[in-house]
Amino acid sequence: MRYQLQGLFAYEAIGEISAGRLCVGARIRIVREPHNAYDPNALKAILEINGAKLGYLPKEQAKKIVSKSIGVLHAKVIEVGITNKRSKKLVPYCT
């Protein structure tokens, strides 16, 4: 499955991209955050190498995953970039 994280600017993702730790192939954990004030199904993404909080999975995707899974999910980064709001194109940060 492919997921696009949200909240990259609010958390540590941009700094991790700049430092070269968040790149294609990096390992991340998807962890449930049941006490999240905004969404009881919230799933946050954490960089495994240092525990940096990267952002959240979109609300609808998180709801589907939570209904099927209980534990921590592990994933690999397949693409890194920021979506340009005007053109909706992915601007790559590292390869």
Q: Give residue-wise pLDDT tens across range 46-92.
A: 999 999 999 999 998 888 888 877 677 878 887 776 665 665 555 44
Question: Is the entire prediction scored with pTM above 0.85?
Answer: no
Q: Are 30 and 73 in contact (CB under 8 A)?
A: yes
Classify the phi-psi angles of 26: left when phi > 0, otherwise alpha if psi is within -120 to 50, otherwise beta. beta
For residue 36, what pLDDT is reported? 92
Q: Please say whether the dihedral angle defined by the alpha carbons of residues 10, 14, 15 and 20, taken in this order, is positive or negative.
A: positive
Q: Which two tokens stand for residue 29?
A: 């954990």
